[in-house]
Amino acid sequence: MSDDIARLRQEAAGLPYGPTKIALLDEAVHLADSINDLDLGFAARKELMLAADYGGRPDLLLVAFSWCLAQHDRDAPRFSRHNILWQYKWVVSRAPQFPQITLRQIDELLDDMTERYRRAGSTLHAVHDHRCKLAHHLGDADALVRSRDLLLRTERDWLSDCRACVADNEIMYLLFLQRDDEALAAAEPILRGRLKCIDVPHRTLARLLLPLVRLGRADQAKDLHRRGYPLVRANPSGQLSPLAEHIVYLTLTQLRQAARTFERFLPVALTAVELDRRFEFFRAGRFLLRVWMEQSPPQAWKLRLPVAAKGDDDAEDPVPQDPDRLADWLDERLDDLARQFDDRNGNNHFRQQLGEPDEWHKLVQTRPHS
């Protein structure tokens, strides 16, 4: 049996991030548990968590982490603290993606993480960064500014995200605070390839597309799309958010290509566990449809989906193929997703984001299609 487990882990190690890697590691965890080998179960979960984090499966990440945390708390010398502390960051940035997890629960997790970091002698640099992330998710500018002030005053330590990720986060915060110029200046080291990691520049290139279009820097946006899209298309389940940003960009520049990209990845979005990413992808698709239907002369469009695509609810009808009905279908789901998040967050940040396509739409009128 442990041979099987070793084979699965090895096979998974040779695969790129995505569902297959997750499935193999999940199986390895499963088998380790079936022979009640805690050390093997811990080691395999460590790999599963990484794959789940990069592969769009925060549900698996949370469950695996809770198991590891419990093992660590029972027998700290045997189950490494460093892993727990490091992965706790993934957990607190993933928990808000589940609208059913309450703000109070999220706070409890952050507090628990903070306490563990403090006891480990950390400067709390990473904690501040993750409080910024939470504020960003909630759309709470005041809280973001407060945590960011703390973050900028705190020294990095061994628990901080890598420099490329920290820089990318900073760009995300600045963009949210509508400081586009500063964000672009902060992006220079990443754009020039001096800072990079497994997530960067993938995410950075995508998040700068729209700001660049807004600033009228079309050539640079085009270059970032050209460089960025190939980096994210191979792992759609883990990169839905950048893919949505590329679709919005393509809608502004190459409508047909935008449609093809949307068709290609819609099946992934339909069953995405990360509901906030699903929201972003649907919103991009909704914008695409709107621009598509305004074309004159009108163009026929039927979706080309690889398999009869359905949402994650078996009882649901298949996705409508005709643009008018698909638009309604997306609106319904967008409203529902926004409501779920806003109810939990106690604000209307997600509903407000539904208004963003209006802003994008102004860019359509100013930019003729090439």
Partner 1 sequence: LAVEHRFQVHLRGLIDLLSNHLYSGPDVFVRELLQNGVDAIRARQQLESAHAGEINVEAHARSGAPPTLMFADNGIGLTEAEVHRFLSTIGESSKRAVESGALVPAAPTDFIGQFGIGILACFLVSDEIVVITRSAHADGDGHAALEWRGRPDGTYVLTKRGTDLAAGTRVYLTCQPGAERHFSADAVRERIRHYGALLPYPIRLSAGTVSAVVNDQEAPWRQHYDHPKERAQALLGYGRQLFECDFLDAISLRADAGDLDGVAFVLPYARDLTGRPSHRVYLKNMLLSDKADNLLPNWAFFVKAVVNANDLQPMASRESFRDDEKLEAARDALGGCLRDYLVDLARNDPGRLQQLLHLHDLPLKALALEDDECYRLFAPWFLFETSQGEMMLGEYRERHDVIRYVPHLESFRQIARVAAAQGMCIINGGYTYGADLLARYADLFPEASCEAVEPSALAQSFEELSAEEIEQTQEFLDVADAVLRPFGCRADLKKFLPPSLPALYASSSEGRFLRALEQAKELSNPTWTSVLDTLQRRRRSGTPPAELCFNYANALVRQLTALRDRALLKRALQLLYVQALLLGHQPLSHRELALMNDTLLAMIDSALAGAAARPAP
Nearest-angstrom CA–CA distance, 46 and 83: 8
Residue type, 226: R
Closest separation in Å from C-beta 126 to partner 1: 20
Nearest-angstrom CA–CA distance, 32 and 34: 5
Closest separation in Å from C-beta 76 to partner 1: 14
**b/e for 29-49, b at 16 or more Cβ within 10 A?**
bebbeeeebeebbbbbbbbbb
Q: Of the two residues 107 and 356, which places its CB atom closer to partner 1 in the complex?
A: 107
Closest separation in Å from C-beta 244 to partner 1: 21
Nearest-angstrom CA–CA distance, 97 and 274: 6
Cα angle for residues 197, 117, 130 (degrees, 5° grid)? 50
Q: Of the two residues 20 and 347, which places its CB atom closer to partner 1 in the complex?
A: 20
Q: Of the two residues 5 and 291, which places its CB atom closer to partner 1 in the complex?
A: 5
Q: Of the two residues 300 and 307, which places its CB atom closer to partner 1 in the complex?
A: 307
Tokens of 37: 């080998």
Q: Cα separations (Å) of 246 from 46, 64, 162, 204, 330?
A: 31, 32, 25, 12, 19
| H/E stretch holding 314 | none
Instruction: For tokens 């940035």, name the residue.
Output: 93
Closest separation in Å from C-beta 71 to partner 1: 7
Closest separation in Å from C-beta 8 to partner 1: 9
Nearest CA to 219 among 188, 253, 246, 242? 253
Q: Of the two residues 69 and 289, which places its CB atom closer to partner 1 in the complex?
A: 69
Q: Of the two residues 25 and 289, which places its CB atom closer to partner 1 in the complex?
A: 25
Nearest-angstrom CA–CA distance, 72 and 74: 5
Closest separation in Å from C-beta 116 to partner 1: 12
**b/e for 118-140, b at 16 or more Cβ within 10 A?**
eeeebbbbbbbbbbbbbbbbbbb
Q: Of the two residues 112 and 331, which places its CB atom closer to partner 1 in the complex?
A: 112
Tally of CB atoms within 10 A around 268: 21
Q: Of the two residues 237 and 287, which places its CB atom closer to partner 1 in the complex?
A: 237
Closest separation in Å from C-beta 297 to partner 1: 29
Applying CB under 8 A, the residues found at the interface with partner 1 are 13-16, 18, 20, 23-24, 26-27, 29-31, 33-34, 36, 59-60, 62-64, 66-67, 69-71, 73-74, 95, 98, 100-102, 105, 108-109, 112, 191-193, 220, 223, 226-227, 230, 234, 306-307, 312-315
Determine if residue 301 is left, alpha or beta; phi over 0 gives left, psi from -120 to 50 gives alpha, anything else beta: beta
Q: Cα separations (Å) of 76 from 69, 79, 82?
A: 9, 5, 10
Closest separation in Å from C-beta 314 to partner 1: 4
